[in-house]
Amino acid sequence: MNIEEAVTAATAGSGALLSCLGQPVVAYHVTAIMRETDRSHARQMQLVLLRRSIEALVDDGLEDVEAERFASQLHGRVGSAWDLLHMAGEKSH
């Protein structure tokens, strides 16, 4: 898996968030997370994206619980894609 594939996997099914924040904004943040090789820092970046995603979705009119559900799904996919991307990188060394 490469970074582009990881970003695509992480953002699949995130239509509400992509339309709210904009695809380039989400892709930028997810790409930055995927490029981060330090697990702890990547997780911190993910939490910032999660918080901002919830705020943006609520501002866009979603209820808090629904916004949290959408953002949590993205958060989970980003974490899984990061793990897959960086596990593959570790195996090649």
The whole-model pTM stands at 0.85
Are the C-beta atoms of residues 27 and 11 closer than 8 Å to each other?
A: yes
C-alpha distances (whole Å) from 63 to each of 31, 55, 59, 77 are 28, 10, 9, 22
The pLDDT value given to residue 87: 87
**Residue ranges covered by each domain of the chain:** 3-91
pLDDT digits (tens, 9 = 90+) for 36-45: 999 999 999 9
Positions in the chain short of pLDDT 70: 88-93
Give the integer Cα–Cα distance in Å for 3 and 18.
18
